[in-house]
Structure 1
Amino acid sequence: MFHKKVKVFKIVLATFIIICIIGTVILGFLGNYLYNYALNSNAKKTIFSSSEKKLETSGEIKEPDQAWLLKKAKDITLNSKDGLLLHAYEINNKSDIYVIAVHGYRSEGLGMASYAKHFNNIGYNVLVPDLRGHGKSEGNNVGMGWPDRLDLLEWINVILKEKKNAKVILMGVSMGAATVMMASGEKLPSQVKCIIEDCGYTSVWDEFKLQLKNEFHLPAFPVLNAASVVTRLRAGYDFTEADAAKQVRKSKTPILFIHGDSDTFVPYSMLEPLYNAAKCAKMKVVIKGAEHAKSSVIDPNTYWNAVEHWVVKYTNQ
């Protein structure tokens, strides 16, 4: 009888181990698939793509402005802390004010050309980086703003080496907005005077949870958990730590929050948690009828009046 029970136990244990192995393999496959789909810089499909077209995530895309930026700006580079050669476009107008304009997911610095042109026309200096894995910058992974926040600190240092008394403005759209918000929670130099975020997400986990539901009709658990583990192994960060809301809570730098109330990709509902999390000086602007990253297109007067007022307010102090 005892030997029979031992035999049954061994069969149950073996079955359980096999099920665990199969489950781990399946989750590993799904985690790698989602990673490649969303965060592999070389992948053709992306989590923000529909069957009709790829989503533009850096606002107003104008080819003439991109040609203007290529002609106007000079190329500069730096080496990241983890050994990547990063690229940026720099426009120097011999002003004390420098705007670092950060692009969105699967875009590149050229996608911020219209913003760069606007700041240039005011007379500001502009630096437009290609985030790691985008444009002319090296990297095989999309950072979603998290490793990019540290790269942003390095770009700030590049400016301060050129001009110690510079007044630096951080501005980003979509993933670029998440990047500047994530940077806000770091120890920023006193020369960083204010931040402007346009339609950034609360966290990578929240955004991917939404897209997983919209694109695949799947729940976050356990697929997103598996993808987060894979991302930790392959890209050096996980979805739970890449949290813009937690970072703005630590910010001492004033933040202007902008969001379109018709945004469904990074939903308008994310604006309030971000704004409420911030304990620094802050202001929010809601653009009526604007979809994702289209606020500057739908209502340019409200958009740019708010941006310029914010910059002047904190660079005159």
Structure 2
Amino acid sequence: MKKFRKKQIWRVIIGLFALLLVINLGATLYFYQIACVRNNQQIGQVKSSSPNYSLVQKFDKLSKSTESIKNDGLKLDAWYVPAEHKTNNTVIVVHGFRQDKSAMRQYGQLFHELGYNVLMPDNRGAGQSEGKFITFGYHDKFDVIAWANYLTDKNPESQISLYGLSMGASTVMMASSEKSLPSSVKNIIEDCGYTNAWDEITYQAKESYNIPPFPLVYSVSLESKLRQGWFFQEASATKALTKDKLPILLIHGSNDTYVPTSMVYENYKAVKKGTPKELLVIKGAAHAKSFETNPELYRQTISKFMKAYNP
């Protein structure tokens, strides 16, 4: 009788464990689809009520060409807008999570008005670029480097700045420490980038779904490793900044609850000792809204930084 009861108890335990595994597997696939699989629905477009909407309208009237490269077996597309007056100075403008290059038109116009050529890529898995997965900067950083090499090959006198927003911000920070980054890249501007993909996804799981990291975030990270070759912890801007030698301007909104403002202080602190660095926290700005919240201060700060490090 006792043996029978023990068997029954073990069957219940094993059954519950199997059920939990099935539930976790289903949840893993669901959240991996949300976080890491391409979705062409556009987000983050500037509204007509925005103080920066006129920049979008001006950008739409500019003459632009479509440029293409191949990297990691993927065809990647970008807009290229030449400066009004010929220059060797170019800014690569990198968009954020589930955006495409069209969401960056206000920033493209900003740098155009400051006198720079502008290259605005679609990240892999977005817009007109190929790719099935979103990689949170892990693979994207090499795409940005490929674009920098493309510009340098076309013009060996190129002086390049990297600008990124949100996921794009973390991407350009990750690119900063790579040995393959060409010497033509002179400085970096990041706006509201996260420390690393693990921190950001763990934060979003808690804030948006009230889900603790274990076991779900661990299993989604494992799914990423199996399908894309990287764990969430490996997509780290903070780690890259400990090796960064390029001057960097870090921007964040004080009211950012999507990529918490605390992350910009972690990234700022992590920058390699001796590397020129500046910090701008825009009071009252939500995620990716610093430029729209205080356009004048944003423009002035970027203009001053660019004059100092990519004039």
Question: TM-score, structure 1 length as denominator?
Answer: 0.87
What letter is aligned with 2:71? S
1:107-146 to 2 correspondences below 5 Å: 107-146=99-138
The residue that corresponds to 1:223 in the other structure is 216
Equivalent of 1:36, from 33, 37, 40? 33
* Structure 1 residue ranges without an equivalent (≥5): 47-53
Equivalent of 1:254, from 247, 257, 264? 247
Cα deviation, 1:257-308, whole Å, max 9, x if unaligned, reads 0111011111111111000001122110111111111111111121111111
The residue that corresponds to 1:90 in the other structure is 80
Equivalent of 2:189, from 184, 196, 212? 196
Q: Distance in 1 between matches of 2:309 and 2:40?
A: 41
The residue that corresponds to 2:269 in the other structure is 276
Q: Residues 38, 16 of structure 1: CA spacing in aligned structure 2 closer, same or farther, 3 A cutoff?
A: same
- By how many angstroms is 1:114 displaced? 1.1
> Conserved in 2, the CA contact under 8 Å of 1:77 and 1:88?
yes
Count of residue pairs brought into register by the alignment = 304
Q: Distance in 1 between matches of 2:146 and 2:297?
A: 32
What letter is aligned with 1:270? M
Q: Distance in 1 between matches of 2:46 and 2:21?
A: 34
Q: Residues 218, 123 of structure 1: CA spacing in aligned structure 2 closer, same or farther, 3 A cutoff?
A: same
What letter is aligned with 1:285? L
Q: Distance in 2 between matches of 1:57 and 1:23?
A: 43
What letter is aligned with 2:234? E
Q: Distance in 2 between matches of 1:34 and 1:290?
A: 28
Which deviates more from structure 2 when the two are superposed, residues 162-171 or residues 19-28?
Answer: 19-28
Question: TM-score, structure 2 length as denominator?
Answer: 0.89
Whether 1:155 and 2:150 are equivalent positions in the alignment is no
> Conserved in 1, the CA contact under 8 Å of 2:252 and 2:264?
yes
- By how many angstroms is 1:235 displaced? 2.8
The residue that corresponds to 1:288 in the other structure is 283
> Conserved in 2, the CA contact under 8 Å of 1:108 and 1:135?
yes
Q: Secondary structure of the equivalent of 2:190?
A: strand
- By how many angstroms is 1:149 displaced? 0.3
Equivalent of 1:103, from 95, 101, 109? 95
* Structure 2 residue ranges without an equivalent (≥5): none
Q: Distance in 2 between matches of 1:223 and 1:66?
A: 43
> Conserved in 2, the CA contact under 8 Å of 1:66 and 1:111?
no
Cα deviation, 1:30-50, whole Å, max 9, x if unaligned, reads 111111112211376x9xxxx
The residue that corresponds to 2:199 in the other structure is 206
What letter is aligned with 1:73? K
- By how many angstroms is 1:241 displaced? 0.5
- By how many angstroms is 1:236 displaced? 2.9
> Conserved in 1, the CA contact under 8 Å of 2:32 and 2:220?
yes
Cα deviation, 1:164-213, whole Å, max 9, x if unaligned, reads 12110000111111111111121222211100000101111111111111
> Conserved in 2, the CA contact under 8 Å of 1:146 and 1:242?
yes
Equivalent of 1:177, from 169, 177, 183? 169
Q: Distance in 1 between matches of 2:21 and 2:202?
A: 20
Whether 1:65 and 2:62 are equivalent positions in the alignment is no
> Conserved in 2, the CA contact under 8 Å of 1:98 and 1:168?
yes
> Conserved in 1, the CA contact under 8 Å of 2:170 and 2:194?
yes
Q: Secondary structure of the equivalent of 1:146?
A: coil
The residue that corresponds to 1:79 in the other structure is 70
> Conserved in 2, the CA contact under 8 Å of 1:202 and 1:274?
yes
- By how many angstroms is 1:226 displaced? 0.6
Whether 1:314 and 2:309 are equivalent positions in the alignment is yes
Q: Secondary structure of the equivalent of 1:240?
A: helix
> Conserved in 1, the CA contact under 8 Å of 2:40 and 2:126?
no
> Conserved in 1, the CA contact under 8 Å of 2:46 and 2:53?
no
